[in-house]
Chains A and B, each alone.
Chain A
Amino acid sequence: MLRYTIRRLLQLLVVVLVLSLLLFAWLRSLPGGPVSALLGERATAETRERLTEELGLNEPIFVQYLKFVGRALTGDFGVSTGVQPGDSAAEIFVQRFPATLELSILAIVIALAVGIPLGYLAARRRGGILDNLSVVSSLIGVAVPVFFLAFLLKQVFAVDLGWFPTAGRQAGGIDATRVTGFFVLDGLLTQEWDAAWDALRHLILPAIALASIPFSVVFRITRASVLDVVDEDYVRTAESKGLTSPVIRRRHVMRNAMLPVVTTIGLQTGALLAGAVLTEKVFAFPGIGQALALGFERRDYPVLLLLILCAAGVFVLINLLVDLSYAVIDPRIRTRGVR
Chain B
Amino acid sequence: MALLEVRDLSVTFHRRGEKSTVAVDGVSFDVEPGQTVGLVGESGCGKSVTSLAIMGLLAKRGATVSGSAKFDGTELLTLSDRQMRDRRGRDLGMVFQDPLSSLNPVISIGLQVTEVLERHRGLSRKQAAVEAAELLDKVGIPDPKRRLTEYPHQLSGGMRQRALIAIALACRPRLLIADEPTTALDVTIQAQILALLAELVRETETALIMITHDLGVVAGLCDEVNVLYAGRVVERSGRHDLFRVPRHPYTHGLLASIPRLDAPKGERLSPIRGSVADNIPWTGGCAFAPRCPHAVDRCVETTPEMVVDQVVEGDRLLRCHNPVEPAGRAEQEMLS
Chain A residues in the interface with B (C-beta under 8 A):
232-234, 236-244, 247, 251-252, 255-256, 259, 329-332, 335, 338-339
Asked whether A238 lies within 8 Å of B88 as measured between CB atoms, the reply is no
- A242 near B85 (CB under 8 angstroms)? yes
Inter-subunit contact A241/B96 (CB<8 Å): no
Report the separation of the CA atoms of residues A238 and B112 in the bound assembly, to the nearest whole angstrom.
Answer: 9
B129 within 8 A of A: no
Question: Which residues of B are found within 8 Å of A232, using beta-carbon distances?
Answer: 101
A241 in contact with B119 (CB, 8 Å): yes
Query: For A236, A244, A338, which residue has the most chain B Cβ atoms within 10 angstroms?
Result: A236
Q: How far is the CB of A257 from chain B (nearest CB, A)?
A: 10
Are A251 and B104 in contact (CB-based, < 8 A)? yes
Given the contacts A232-B101, A338-B154, A241 and B106 also touching, CB distance less than 8 Å: no
Minimum Cβ distance to chain A for residue B17 (Å) = 13
Contact B98 A256 (CB under 8 A): no
Considering residues B85, B87, B102, B106, which has the most beta carbons from chain A within 10 angstroms of its beta carbon? Answer: B106
Check A331/B104 contact, CB under 8 A, given A239-B88, A242-B89: no
Q: What are 5 A-B contacts defined by CB distance under 8 Å?
A: A237-B164, A239-B57, A240-B55, A241-B116, A247-B115
Task: Assess whether B88 is in contact with A234, with CB atoms less than 8 Å apart.
Answer: no
A243 touches B85 (CB 8 A): yes
Proximity bits, B131-165, A CB within 8 Å = 1, else 0: 00000000000000000000101100000000010
| B213 at the A interface (CB under 8 A) | no
CB–CB B94/A331 < 8 A: no
Query: B residues touching A (Cβ–Cβ < 8 Å)?
Result: 55, 57, 84-90, 93-94, 96, 98, 101-108, 111, 115-116, 119-120, 151, 153-154, 164, 167-168
Which of A241, A256, A330 has the most CB atoms of chain B within a 10 A radius of its CB? A241
CB contacts (< 8 Å) of A241 on chain B: these are: 88-89, 115-116, 119, 167
**Count of chain A to chain B residue pairs whose CB atoms are closer than 8 Å in the complex:** 87
Q: Answer whether A331 and B102 are a contact pair too, CB < 8 Å, given A236-B57, A240-B57, A241-B119.
A: no
A230: nearest residue on chain B (CB-CB)? B59
Q: Is the beta-carbon distance between B90 and A331 smaller than 8 angstroms?
A: no
Instruction: Tell me, in angstroms, the Cα distance from A163 to B106 when the chains sit together.
Output: 45
**Are B57 and A242 neighbours in the complex by a CB distance under 8 Å?**
no
How far, in whole Å, are A330 and B106 apart by their CA atoms in the complex? 6
CB closest chain-B residue, reference A235:
B104
Minimum CB–CB distance for A91 against chain B, Å: 45
A242-B87, A338-B154 known; 13 new pairs, CB 8 Å cut-off, are A232-B101, A233-B98, A233-B102, A234-B102, A236-B57, A236-B96, A237-B102, A239-B57, A240-B168, A243-B119, A251-B111, A256-B105, A332-B151
Select one of B86, B98, B101, B107 contacting A255, CB under 8 A.
Answer: B107
How many angstroms between the C-alpha atoms of A46 and B57 in the bound complex? 86
Indicate if the CB atoms of A240 and B94 lie closer than 8 Å.
Answer: yes
A229 to B106, CA, bound (A): 12
Q: Are B96 and A331 in contact (CB under 8 A)?
A: no
Chain B residue numbers with a CB within 8 Å of A255 are: 104, 106-107
Q: Among B57, B84, B102, B107, which residue has its beta carbon within 8 angstroms of that of A251? A: B107
Chain B nearest CB, measured from A265 CB (Å)? 17
Contacts of A335 in B (CB 8 A): 151, 153-154
**CA gap between A316 and B306 in the complex, in Å:** 70
CB–CB B104/A238 < 8 A: yes
Q: In the bound complex, what is the Cα–Cα distance between A330 and B153 (angstroms)? A: 11
Q: How far is the CB of B98 from chain A (nearest CB, A)?
A: 6
Residues of A within 8 A of B154 (CB): 335, 338-339
Q: Which residue of A lies closest to B88 (CB)?
A: A242
- Give A244 to B85 CA distance when docked, in angstroms: 7
- Tell me, in angstroms, the Cα distance from A335 to B151 when the chains sit together: 9
Looking at the assembled complex, report how far the CB atom of B87 sits from the nearest CB atom of chain A, in whole angstroms: 7
**Given A236-B57, A252-B104: A331 touches B88 (CB 8 Å cut-off):** no
Distance of A332 Cα from B155 Cα, bound (Å): 12
